Structure 1
């Protein structure tokens, strides 16, 4: 027997069986809010790309998210994800020790460059320094311990738009490769899923990303994040653990080769986009 809308209404049912009809929640960013975001981000000038995804509702927002930039230290996050998953499978041993040698001493950010040559570190320690301090020296040692060829194949399993964007990364000192905001967001979501999988290594990766230094994106909520910056590249990619958690990746061309060259305006896109995205995505009326 078919039922009409009137027969299904709560008034037509006995009070003891009536159920409240709940509407499905709409997107966290409405079309009107997306249009407003477009205007605000465009006002920041060129060379700014954004990817957002609600981890609660699944909707996305993007602004010029397919433009590629030099990847800089953002590459360290998917590499750590790769190594930790190998450790889960028993392919690599995180307790294996490696010796810090003079050829590992690079410039840039880090912890190891101030430590004495000849010190030994476990692979687990090197991964922690790679993520928590964005240590270039530790990252070079990680790539020697777990070569890049397997990583390049791993990247192809993530569903990136530009799956060959990190093919130029090698075992030498230089960090090579490109990233777009969309693919940075896909990587962040893969890390989020892994961190929530119950793996102790996933929990460790999340812990270190929660304590990453030099934040550019801002939030009143905890953020598991990875930044990268160099000449023509300044990026921050975050998992924001808000009441409705979300991914936010902001990639720009605002970067410089030396820390002393950065000025307040270089950080402006990150600060403003953080505020705008949080305002609309956590709006209870959406």
Structure 2
């Protein structure tokens, strides 16, 4: 017992030292951690600073089903059209029964005929990934018009080919896609004002900060660290893309495929987010 008591303070001090100095070896830890991921898991990710410098990446050009991460470029295009005066954020839309689709979101449970603003729809599309709100926005903007805008801005991997929860389209082979590199480029363009003026950009970033799914990138970050992000989930894809506002903002998109369960994918995403913050954002 005496021996244990004499060793314990050393162990305790050493543990504190490791915790307080984890940032020193965070890059090495990220590399080491990536080597521990099950070989069957497919990972695509990219981490950049606000100047666009690539800090770390793997398979970032791979085109992957986007799940709800497609809602990030959709939100940016939505705000651009609103800023141009095509419509007002305060314009009202009356919900119809035929608008309602399943999956994420609360609007599907609201009674037909209720009036909501387009700003409310955009916020819900991000906050709880509301699929009904998203489809209303797609109809407002035009699916083909959105796709044309993406191509005009040189985004070829990011594609909106169907509405949310459109299983008939899925059976016909229509899918929405993205790559981690292109989603990161969109986030950089948003932050640096390349696609929107300052006030609309700030509004979009604030809405992304309100995403309620915090099991991915935000999960292992300190509470004081803000993150503007959007998750996406399919049975076979889990992703998260966002801006981590540390001392130095970093832009990160992580897409995971071939995982055994969502918890495994979330563990991978949150660990990468934590290590990226420690190495590049402090």
TM-score scaled by structure 2?
0.78
1:39–1:53 distance in 2 versus 1, CA, 3 Å = same
Does the aligned pair in 2 maintain the 1:74–1:235 contact within 8 Å?
yes
Distance 1:104 1:123 in 2: 14
Residue 273 of structure 2 corresponds to: 274
Residue 61 of structure 1 corresponds to: 56
- Deviation, 1:50, is 1.1
Residue 6 of structure 1 corresponds to: none
Does the residue aligned with 1:126 lie in a helix, a strand or coil?
helix
| Alignment pair present for 1:102 and 2:97 | yes
Q: RMSD over aligned Cα, in angstroms? A: 2.9
Please give the residue correspondences for 1:61-140 in structure 2 after superposition, counting only pairs within 5 Å. 61-140=56-135
The aligned length equals 247
Q: 2:229 aligns with which of 222, 225, 231?
A: 225
1:167-216 residue CA offsets vs partner (Å, 9 max, x unmatched): 52359846831112111211221222249965433222111110101121
Please give the residue correspondences for 1:100-249 in structure 2 after superposition, counting only pairs within 5 Å. 100-160=95-155, 163-169=156-162, 173=166, 176-194=175-193, 199-215=198-214, 216-218=216-218, 219-220=221-222, 221-249=225-253
Distance 2:209 2:266 in 1: 20
Does the residue aligned with 2:192 lie in a helix, a strand or coil?
helix
Distance 1:136 1:78 in 2: 15
Distance 1:37 1:158 in 2: 33
- Deviation, 1:164, is 4.9
Distance 1:244 1:195 in 2: 19
1:81-130 residue CA offsets vs partner (Å, 9 max, x unmatched): 00111111112232222221111111111121221111121212111111
- Structure 1 stretches lacking a partner, 5+ long: 1-31, 257-261
Distance 1:78 1:159 in 2: 13
Residue 17 of structure 2 corresponds to: none
Distance 2:85 2:106 in 1: 28
1:59–1:65 distance in 2 versus 1, CA, 3 Å = closer
Residue 19 of structure 1 corresponds to: none
Residue 40 of structure 1 corresponds to: 33
Does the residue aligned with 1:81 lie in a helix, a strand or coil?
helix
